Amino acid sequence: MRAVIMAGGEGVRLRPLTCSQPKPMSRLCGKPTIEYILDLLCRHGVENAEITLKYMPDEIISHFENGRYKNINLRFVIENTPMGTAGGVRNAVEDTEEDILIVSGDALTDFNLSEIIDSHRKSGAEATIVTSEVADPREFGLVVSDEKRFVSRFIEKPPYSQAVSREANTGIYIISPNVLKMIPKNEKYDFAGDLFPRMMSHSMPINVYKADGYWCDIGDIGTYISCQSDIMSDKVETELNRDNAKNGIMTGNNVRIAPDAVLSDCVIEDNCVIESGVKISGSVILKNSFISSGTHISGSLICENVKIGERCCILEQAVIGAGTVLGDEVTVKPSVRIWPEKNIYKKSIIRNNVKFGSCDTVLLDDNGFEGDFGSEITPQFCVRLGQSLAGMSKGRIVVAASSGAAEFCCKSAVIAGIMSAGGAALDLGNAILPLVAFAEDLCNSSIGVFIGKSEKLSIGVYSKNGVPFSRKEERQLESLMLRAETPAVGGKEVSYPSKINGIFEIYQNSLISFAPGGLEGLSVSVSGDDELSAEILSLALTKLGVIVGDEDGSIKIKTENFGKDISVRLSGGEELDSDRALALSLYKNLSSGASCAVRETAPLWFDSYAEILGGEIMRYNSSTTGGDDTARETAKNQMFTRDGLMTAVKLLHVIKNNGDSVSNILEMMPKKSIQNKFVAISASPSEIIGNLIESKHHSYIYSNEGIIENISRGAVRLIPSGSGRAIRIIAEAVNAETAAELTFEAEEAIRSALDGSDK
């Protein structure tokens, strides 16, 4: 009897395993699935077999280079268009005078084919369907037979109430030449949906053979993993060499396993490395994969050439696609699938499938969380963020967003997370960034959240009065989000978000207070990246007596970064960027001998400017571990250093009270040009910084944040980003050209430090 092996399926439910190989070539205990089928055919005397191919046919053809497998002659037939199960067989076998045995190329079985063939011949039927009894009939096409063991009807994946049979169609058939001729040529045609119903309509008997033995339809990742466990435990008869199988563990060649690694019920293929402290249970690790120390893998599939970082946690039925790299401390939740060639950053928590692009997983960075809406920042992520923030604060959490549907969606999700964890949310609605800090101060809140969107969606999280989180607070938030453990809260513990009636009017009055005596006589035009910040500032200035409009000779103010910063063009034409605008607004404070707190990344020339005026500049880190407590406390009481609208009013007050002498104030500011650039890195920032400190070509020294190099042409600061994915270059020089040169040189130094060549 000749055989046809149906091997054209794409294996969609097995992706990403089948992204790079056809399903019949997926390995079970290191051996392609189709070889188990061929071994079975060999045991029962089959000498010729056609293999129908469609998806990635060359992978199968090249595997059998000489067109043979043991004693079986193989002929490959490629389907250029979908032919269906029966149509594929008709396409493979034109005419024959002998019965045809049809088997699936992606199932594992040890059925006695000789007995099946004998039953078919004795039955007198034109076709035989092989069935197997299954525990859960809902997942299979069922066959119901009469007292003669002929088919009486078919039931396709029924509910329990309609599952009158437990005999599943295994996809193994025998058909006569007459039945083969019933299948139309060059037409899509299926056995179960077309051929067998047609035979029954013509009263042609179909024999049912209920087979004893092992059968597994490898239809999903769970069965792909479990059937390999069955092979190792001898539940299925195979020709597999078990020399490398001991105590429920099968290993390939050149496998290195640390002595203290704990493995159970798993397959480790060739050239894999399992480091110290690793725990693997009920899993399959394919060729050339590296599992770093402390990682736990449970019931999962790790495809070829995967690199998994230290202390990762990969949970049940997760799949890591071929060539993927997981950073340290990554958690992959159950049933998550990561497609091939992805990069997953350290400490990421992967709850959804990662299919397109690289997984630039959201981490807490200098500006909070940032990413694309729907892929990196999702409503689910925002709910977890809200729950985690509620776990940090017993008081109200201020939440606001810029205008936009995505921002509104994320704001609503953050608030829902706060509520679901029993927290209290204060919803500012559509607002500007400075209003969050203002509301925090007004309501004595210790946490604020602002959601805005420019190129990407960003979610800023702030400590009291809008000061950045300390490193302790960052670690607490990261830990809560990593564990994703939300306390159970009853319905009575959930409270509606609160609002502040008249918050915009209260905030406007605060702005007005920065210009005692008013600003009559000034003419100002106001614009902004967002309409709301420009509108709020315009209304406040109008109340202060300013003529607001685009008049000739007027001062032009532009709000930026959702109201956090401003840029200014004075009536004389002088251009002030956000740094110089802030410095001018601080004139009164510094000239009276006061101390003003700014971020560590503020220009270095601020210090000499303050010294000229008789004041002092204090600096606080973006994320502190201590040592800047005084500066941070001062900053909490100086919201005007982080509020562009307050800066604008204070600046105009300086202009109003100093008239022509404003030009003299500007002259006190050192003429420096600043250039900022972020350089993406693939190594640990501490390693790069360490290499630069040891560099023979540079003279970097440690500073409060990162490192600094002071040379005759200017100063360069290198500061790792909060996520560790980039290093920020801040170059400060006498002109833009020199600042650009310093930036280029710093970037080259970082590149050299990546491979240690700058030592």
The CA distance from 255 to 273, in Å, is 6
Model-wide pTM > 0.95: no
Which residues are CB-contacts of 266 (< 8 A; sequence separation ≥ 6)?
248, 249, 250, 280, 281, 282, 283, 284, 285
The CA distance from 375 to 445, in Å, is 31
Most trustworthy range by pLDDT among 270-284, 377-391, 491-505: 270-284
Name the β-bridge partners of 569. 556, 575
So what's the pLDDT on residue 458? 92
The CA distance from 469 to 486, in Å, is 22
Which of the two residues, 262 and 363, has the higher pLDDT score? Answer: 262
So what's the pLDDT on residue 105? 85
So what's the pLDDT on residue 358? 47
* 95: three-class secondary structure by DSSP: coil
* pLDDT, tens only, 137-192: 887 888 888 888 999 888 887 777 777 788 889 999 999 999 999 999 888 999 98
* pLDDT, tens only, 586-627: 999 999 999 999 998 999 999 999 999 999 999 988 765 567
- As to burial, measured by CB atoms within 10 angstroms (0-12 exposed, 13-18 middle, 19+ buried), residue 580 is buried
* pLDDT, tens only, 252-274: 999 999 999 999 999 999 999 99
Structure tokens at 276: 């110290």
* pLDDT, tens only, 405-422: 999 999 999 999 999 999
The CA distance from 579 to 576, in Å, is 8
* Chain mean pLDDT for the chain: 89
The CA distance from 167 to 210, in Å, is 7
User: Residues 79, 91: contact at Cβ < 8 Å?
Assistant: yes
